[in-house]
A and B are shown apart, each in its own frame.
Chain A
Amino acid sequence: MARSRDLRPGYSRRAQYGIFTGYVITVAGLVAGLVALGVSFYNPGAFAWLRGPASEVAAPVGEASAATRRSGAGLIAAINAWFEAGHQNLAMAREIAAARAASASARATADENRRLKALLGIIDPAAPPIATARLIGSTAASARRYAVIDAGTARGVHEGQPVRGAAGLIGRVVEAGRNTARVLLVSDAANVVPVRRASDGLPGFVQGTANGRIAIRLLTMGNNPLHPGDVFTTSGSGGIYPPGIPVAVVSAPRRDGAEGQLAADPAASDYVIVLPVYQAAAVEAMAASVKAGGPPIKDDN
């Protein structure tokens, strides 16, 4: 046990000013911290420029520890493999022989499938998908909902093209770089998708609410005919999205529409398909006529 130091430094002016300056800096720092905190509340991404480089600098720490974890697991696996090498080798040789036979018959089946599909016309030969890509990132720090895919202009991806996953619509391309493209997700508030109910074609549109859910609004007035579980697919109007892609499922009917869940959660779909614009000529013509018509007339309401 020791006595705390005495804060009064006697008659030394220098020491007194030193202590005083220390407190001034502390309180100034406190105020600066409160300001930074306020800015962080109003704009959570405000200090991302600072956090990004800091994470880059510290990333080797995380990578090194992750690599240690991985190589540790790899070491144990290697030791295990040493003991199991003999009968594993035998089993694999047997498996390869079986797989060769299976692959030959699979090739025959695939051939047959292709012919049958061409016969049925399931794949629209006029509009094959442009690219298959992987969702490689999204904006977690921002309230806007963008995702990044690993295909760009080098593979024919251009602005405006719709993107879908296996389960349904993901969004549309808004910026295309050479090897990556930025996708505006359906859950973004700026993305409006024309839809219709799958069962009876009831028209409406879907708009994101930026919190992972979406709002479904109907074009018809009157009684709200929506029920939980109703599936909405793209209607093809607007000319961007091809018809028939699942978009949303109604989860809670509201007075003027419904709150819905996305048919394809972007977090759960890793591979996506970039499709061509459904009616590219019509979309271009419409954009041109809007441009020729000049700015829209101001509404008073």
Chain B
Amino acid sequence: MVPAPRLASGTDAARRRPINRAPLPWLAAGLPWVSIMVLSLVPFSPVIASAPVMPPLGLMALLGWRMLRPSFLPVWAGLPLGAWDDLFSGQPFGSGIVLWSVAMLAMEVIDERFLWRGFVQDWLAAIALLSTYLVLAAGIAGLAAGYPLPLTIGPQWLVTIALFPLVNRGVALLDRVRLLPLRKL
């Protein structure tokens, strides 16, 4: 079986695309950012919970894009996207900026250390990053609220781990939408 192409360039991408068509530039450049920002709006979804059960979908999408397209998002993407997430997550402002920036830097280190990665290695890296994020975010929220709340993140942690491949899959789908040859040359 031929593995799915990671980069839609070169021979296999050209095979499907008519020669007078190209992706829309604003769609190709903007969809990753917009998708991460939309997933950060999860607190405004109809799910109203009394305990944290929703996974950090914004950060998961960020990691998904970072793993699928290592050079698309700049290293500093955690700064604006984390700030956006802070506006809606209910965390004290600044925690998203710090933790998302650290996640992006950690992905650079992971890229450097583990050159050849497959699905399982990517998942393990995401588990490590997301677990650290959840624990630190709960710690920061606990500091801000005045009492620690470490045990409530258990269900959220399990959902996050289980859902990451699904988010990854969604990101891959969006990537195909992003590169649809809609523009006529």
Chain A residues with a Cβ under 8 A of chain B: 1-5, 7, 22-23, 25-26, 29-30, 32-41, 44, 46-47, 50-51, 54-55, 58-59, 61-62, 65-66, 68-69
Hey, which chain B residues are within 8 Å of A7, CB to CB?
A: 108, 111-112
**In the complex, what distance in Å separates the CA atom of A1 from the CA atom of B67?**
11
Among A30, A33, A47, A58, contact of B44 (Cβ-Cβ < 8 Å): A58
Check B148 for interface membership: any CB of A closer than 8 A: no
Further 19 A-B residue pairs, CB within 8 A, beyond A4-B112, A29-B76, A30-B102: A22-B74, A22-B75, A26-B79, A29-B78, A30-B101, A33-B82, A36-B97, A37-B95, A37-B98, A39-B94, A40-B92, A41-B92, A41-B144, A44-B144, A54-B87, A55-B87, A61-B44, A61-B45, A65-B46
15 pairs from A and B in contact (CB 8 Å cutoff): A1-B3, A4-B111, A7-B112, A22-B74, A25-B76, A26-B101, A29-B78, A29-B97, A30-B97, A30-B102, A33-B82, A38-B94, A50-B87, A50-B93, A68-B46
Closest Cβ neighbor of B70 among chain A residues: A5
Determine the main DSSP class of B at the interface with A.
Answer: helix
Q: Mark B107-127, 1 if CB is under 8 A from A, else 0.
A: 010011011111000000000
In the bound complex, CA of A5 to CA of B67 (Å): 11
- Given A7-B111, A68-B46: A58 in contact with B88 (beta carbons within 8 A): yes
A69 to B44, CA, bound (A): 13
B46 to chain A, nearest CB (A): 4
Residues 84-100 of B contacting A (Cβ, < 8 Å): 86-88, 92-98
CA distance A3 to B117 in the complex (A): 7
| Measured CA separation A4–B110 after assembly (Å) | 9
Minimum CB–CB distance for A245 against chain B, Å: 31
Q: Is the CB of A3 within 8 A of B102?
A: no
Interface string of B40-77 (1 = CB under 8 A from A): 01001110000000000000000000000011001110
Q: How far is the CA of A25 from the CA of B69 in the complex (A)?
A: 20
A260 to B44, CA, bound (A): 37
Q: Bound complex: CA of A54 vs CA of B83, how far in Å? A: 11
Interface presence of B140 (CB below 8 A): yes
Inter-chain CA distance A47–B3, complex, in Å, is 47
* Residues of chain A with a CB closer than 8 A to B95's CB: 33, 37, 40
Contact B41 A58 (CB under 8 A): yes
With the chains together, A74 CA to B61 CA distance in Å? 34
By a beta-carbon cutoff of 8 Å, the part of chain B in contact with chain A is 3, 6-7, 41, 44-46, 70-71, 74-76, 78-79, 82-83, 86-88, 92-98, 101-102, 104-105, 108, 111-112, 114-118, 140, 143-144
- Tell me whether B114 and A4 are in contact (CB under 8 A): yes
| Contact A1-B118, Cβ < 8 Å, known A29-B76, A51-B87, A54-B88 | yes
> Could you tell me the distance in whole angstroms from the C-beta of A282 to the nearest C-beta in chain B?
41
Q: Which residue of A lies closest to B46 (CB)?
A: A65
Closest chain A residue, CB of each to CB of B87: A54
Nearest chain B CB to A141 CB, angstrom units: 11
Q: Are A65 and B44 also in contact (CB < 8 A) when A29-B76, A41-B143, A50-B87 are?
A: yes
- Interface pair A1/B102, CB less than 8 Å apart: no
Pairwise interchain contact B97-A32, C-beta atoms closer than 8 A: yes
Q: Is the CB of A69 within 8 A of B46?
A: yes
Q: Are the C-beta atoms of B112 and A29 separated by less than 8 Å?
A: no
Contact A37 B93 (CB under 8 A): yes
B37 CB → nearest A CB, Å: 10
With beta carbons under 8 angstroms apart, the residue of B88, B112, B117 that contacts A1 is: B117
Which residues of chain B have C-beta atoms less than 8 A from A44's C-beta?
A: 92, 144
Asked if B104 and A26 make an inter-chain contact with CB atoms under 8 angstroms apart, the answer reads yes
Q: List, in ascending order, chain A residues with CB within 8 A of B144's CB.
A: 40-41, 44
Chain B residues whose C-beta falls within 8 Å of the C-beta of A34 in the assembled complex: 94, 98
Min Cβ gap A250→B in Å is 25
Task: Say yes or no: A3 contacts B115, CB within 8 Å.
Answer: yes
> CB distance B94 to A40 under 8 Å?
yes
Contacts of A4 in B (CB 8 A): 70, 111-112, 114-117
In the bound complex, residues from chain A placing their C-beta under 8 Å from that of B93 are 36-37, 39-40, 46-47, 50-51
